[in-house]
Amino acid sequence: MTTSTQSRMFRWSGIAVPIVLAIIVSVILLALAGTPPIEAFQLIWEGAFGNSTKIGDTMMAWVPLVLASAGLIVTFNAGLWNIGIDGQIIAGGIAASWVARELGGPTALIVTVAIIAGMVGGMLWALLAGVLKVKGKVNEIFGGLGLFFVASSVAIYLIIGPWKRAGIASTSGTDLFPEKAWLPTLSNNRLSLVAIALAVVGVGLVYVLMRGTRFGLRLKAVGRNPQSAFLLGIPTNRYMLGAFALCGALAGAGGAVQAIGFHHKLIPAISGGYGFLAILVVLLVANRAAWIAPVALFFIALSVGSTTLTLRLDVDSAIGGVVQGILVLFVVLGGGWQAWRVRRREAAEAETT
């Protein structure tokens, strides 16, 4: 067996073994909860892909998760834990909502401007976290989480204040946007080819950026060792801000899709928690953009389909999150096991030499 074949088998075992173990543990947990595992997985599938309406809802939930995951790959490669990405999704949703409410004209114009506004809103919110990091030396985790709560508060203020429904001060959301401001859809469900195209372009952009560009290589160098990168002449602060800006723009696009493509109004939970879920996706794919789409679809199918368990089997829908957490846990443990084996092998080779 050649060295390259062994290396490939070693890499794939680090992915396959944790997934198999996660499935086994999930089946055991379902059985202990008194739920037939096969029936539970069938219901999850049915809840996510049972008909055209469910497929449309699942795919429209998939889009912001993919966009957020693609953005996080950029910041994670730059060594930045952009935990506040949910705030950037909310900022994008607010900006897109403002355009949908205020701008008149044909659908193509309103939708285009709303998506651009969402990207700008998310980018500016992310840059604020970046400036706090670069100029104020505020850790991006604390800065990002603080800005997330600020964005959530702004959304709630708009919903119960200036944008409240006529005669009602409710946190259920604003009035529905004019139909001209909705993303164009297929048939009688929410599925929009515009949203799908945004997700594909976002993933493709990040894939090319991180694999075949000077910017991507320098960004990885900043993430690996910012001090050394700076000594080699790389403007580390500028690259960190660029990573925040790109991540925020992608997250903001996801917020715009949530606002004008899924809910058709601004709601307090416009981010849907997709930013935090995207962190799990990126951990699972180990910063590889090529794997974002299928892994994000798996996570969304679990999230959407698990609600069926409550209706049909009287099982808490949180079981989907449990399965996701178990999967990520085993993959992280598998990655640690692989790293330990590599270090052990390198130490043995060095000792032999």
The arithmetic mean of pLDDT across residues 8-24, rounded, is 68
Is a pLDDT exceeding 60 seen at residue 221? yes
Joined together, the tokens standing for residue 228 give 């050394």
Cα 222 to Cα 228: distance, rounded to the nearest angstrom: 8
Cα dist. 155→95, 98, 273 in Å? 10, 11, 15
pLDDT exceeds cutoff 80 at 322? no
pTM of the model: 0.89
The rounded Cα 86 to chain-centroid distance in angstroms is 9
Kindly tell me if the per-residue pLDDT of 123 is higher than 70.
yes
pLDDT at position 148 is: 96
Top mean pLDDT of 88-97, 233-242, 285-294 is at: 88-97
Kindly report which listed range (45-49, 58-62, 117-121, 308-312) carries the lowest average pLDDT score. Answer: 308-312
CB 68 within 8 A of CB 90: no
- Output the pLDDT for position 345: 79
**pLDDT category of residue 350 using cuts at 50, 70 and 90:** confident
pLDDT of residue 298: 87
Instruction: Tell me the one-letter amino acid at 83.
Output: I
Model pLDDT, residue 7: 57
Please report the pLDDT score of residue 3 as a whole number: 56
CB under 8 Å to 34, separation ≥6 — which residues? none
Are 112 and 197 spatial neighbours (Cβ–Cβ below 8 Å)? no
pLDDT over 90 (residue 353): no
Tens of pLDDT along 27-46? 887 788 777 888 888 888 88
| pLDDT score of 267 more than 90 | yes
Reading the block at residue 292, the tokens are 């974002």
Quick one: DSSP state of residue 14?
H
Q: Whose CA is closest to 122, among 190, 183, 72, 57?
A: 72
Structure tokens at 135: 């100029």
CA 243 to chain CA centroid, Å, is 15
Which residue do the tokens 């089946």 mark? 27
Per-residue model confidence (pLDDT) at position 242 = 95
Average pLDDT for 291-299: 90
Mean pLDDT to the nearest integer, 266-275: 92
User: Averaged over 301-327, what is the pLDDT?
Assistant: 75
